[in-house]
Amino acid sequence: MILNIRRDFCSDECERIIEILMGPATNNQREEAVPSTKQFRDYILEQLSELPNITCRQMMGEFLLYSDGVLFGGIYDDRLLVKKVPENAVFGMVEAIPYDGAKPMYLVDDVDDKEGLTEIVKRTVKGL
């Protein structure tokens, strides 16, 4: 059984019922699949502009990110996710699922910190 409920429109009683059925909502759960926007993609690419050879490929409404041809992450539902490797575990990022059936990745919460984001991507690519 699949429940597609937008939690932000629920009453308190509705929220309690959803939590009983599905468990509590967390920031890394995908509540509803929404294609990523080109504006968010452009912002992330600008934030990564200090890194050499960053490229982006659109795939099924989302964006895959590469460094020197190595897939290191992507933009899913306007969230930046990077592959999990031991080298980037030091950043304490939470796991998130990019799409149903996918392996967990790390969610980069602070995409506004250009230096921190650059270091996360460098270490991720190093571990691949």
Domains of the chain: 33-126 (3.30.1460.30)
Q: Average pLDDT in the 15-44 region?
A: 68
User: pLDDT tens digits, residue range 35-87?
Assistant: 788 999 999 999 999 998 999 999 888 999 999 999 999 999 999 999 999 99
- Which own/partner contact pairs does 25-31 have at CB distance under 8 Å and 24+ positions apart? 27/94, 27/107, 28/94, 28/95, 28/96, 28/97, 28/107, 29/96, 29/97, 30/77, 30/96, 30/97, 30/99, 30/100, 31/5, 31/6, 31/7
Of 125 and 3, more confident: 125
